[in-house]
Amino acid sequence: MLIVGWGVLVGALLCGSLLVVACLLGLRRMTRALARDAEARLPPRGAFIDTSRGRLHYVEAGSGPPLVLIHGLGGQLQHFTYALIEALRDDYRVIAFDRPGSGYSDATDNARARLPCQAHVLHEAWRALGVERPLVVGHSMGGAVALTLALDYPEEIAGLALLAPLVAPVSDVPPAMRLLAIRSPRWRRWMAETLAIPLTRMTSRQALAQVFAPEAVPSDYALRGGGILALRPQAFHAASTDLAMLEHELPRQVTRYATLGVPLGVMFGAHDRILEPALHIETLQRQRPDMLVHVEREAGHMLPITRPKETAAFIRRMAARAWPA
């Protein structure tokens, strides 16, 4: 009887293990299918440039004084091509990059996701494109990268126009981004290849509503705004890695803000539900009381998409400061 009991137990465990393996294989196949569909529906729309730390995808439009646009966590350059570039291209040479790991730029890892490494790669890329002393525009986490650029390359940047920027460490991850909060590189990779993308697909409506709140998510965001590209393992892995590295990088960066010497401006939506406007504005304002501050009434976090005209006007004001007549 004891032998029979052990046999039943081993059989049950074996069946359970096989079921788990089958589920994981099914999730992996689903993940790859969703990624293939996203890439087929929204292929790269720009050009590529090689750097010492991987290839970057970018779009370029217009001519005139140079603007370099850097997107935020979990985003890609279509946050700018949605409407903002069109509003600026008549008067400026506008270049928007997919940050390392994001969009169609090469995959990233812990080392390449560090703020100084991202800044180095972007600086290398725009220099290779013949850009000198651009006004750097950073949205959300792109604001943190833009600040790193100004700290590390102060003589090679004309100014900073920061849109709802991540400036200081935050006490908690916004609910819309908690799935990304994975410290272990191995667990992060495993999640990206199995559970994360099906979960992202299931929860995307609620997450996007939080990111855009109190404004509505545009009906064409999935394609025109590049939202569908989040349904790829590389996108999840890059965003999760960025988030993990920020925990270590931002506290060190804040101590350097007193050395910022370039023209500086910050624009926030008054009702931003991802980053608290007062915290991030005041962190910079204590060091730079002369900086330009614009708070857009009734607006939320996704200013380049929901408020392109107002955002373009703010960038133009900063351009006037960066390149005074």
Reported CATH class of domain 46-322 = alpha beta
d(CA 247, CA 189): 19
d(CA 105, CA 98): 6
Mean pLDDT of 82-87: 98
**Encoded tokens for 221:** 């965001």
Q: List the alpha helices (DSSP H) in the chain.
A: 2-41, 78-81, 84-88, 110-113, 115-128, 141-152, 185-193, 196-212, 221-224, 233-254, 277-285, 303-306, 308-322
User: Residue 18: its pLDDT value, please?
Assistant: 52
Q: Where are the domains of the chain?
A: 46-322
Dihedrals phi, psi of 160, to nearest 5 degrees: -125, 130
pLDDT digits (tens, 9 = 90+) for 252-265: 999 999 999 999 99
User: Residue 28: its pLDDT value, please?
Assistant: 86
pLDDT digits (tens, 9 = 90+) for 97-150: 999 999 999 998 988 999 999 999 999 999 999 999 999 999 999 999 999 999
The confidence band for 13, taking pLDDT boundaries of 50, 70 and 90, is very low
Percent above pLDDT 70 for the chain: 93
Query: Is a pLDDT exceeding 60 seen at residue 8?
Result: no
Percent above pLDDT 90 for the chain: 83
The confidence band for 246, taking pLDDT boundaries of 50, 70 and 90, is very high
User: Residue 26: its pLDDT value, please?
Assistant: 77
Query: Is a pLDDT exceeding 80 seen at residue 81?
Result: yes
Query: Is a pLDDT exceeding 90 seen at residue 310?
Result: yes
Integer angstrom CA distances of residue 70 from 20, 144, 193, 204: 41, 10, 26, 23
**Encoded tokens for 149:** 């650029």
Cis-peptide, bond into residue 214, ω within 30° of zero: yes
User: Which of 15-19, 192-196, 279-283 is the most confident on average?
Assistant: 279-283
d(CA 225, CA 250): 28
The confidence band for 161, taking pLDDT boundaries of 50, 70 and 90, is very high
Tally Cβ neighbours within 10 Å of residue 98: 27
Q: pTM of the full predicted structure?
A: 0.92
User: Residue 318: its pLDDT value, please?
Assistant: 98
- Scan for tokens 């350097």, then name that residue: 256
User: Residue 24: its pLDDT value, please?
Assistant: 67
Query: Is a pLDDT exceeding 60 seen at residue 6?
Result: no
d(CA 200, CA 315): 33
> How does the average pLDDT of the chain come out, rounded?
92
Mean pLDDT of 171-182: 90
E strand or H helix that includes residue 58: strand 54-61
Handedness of CA 27, 174, 76, 209 (dihedral sign): positive
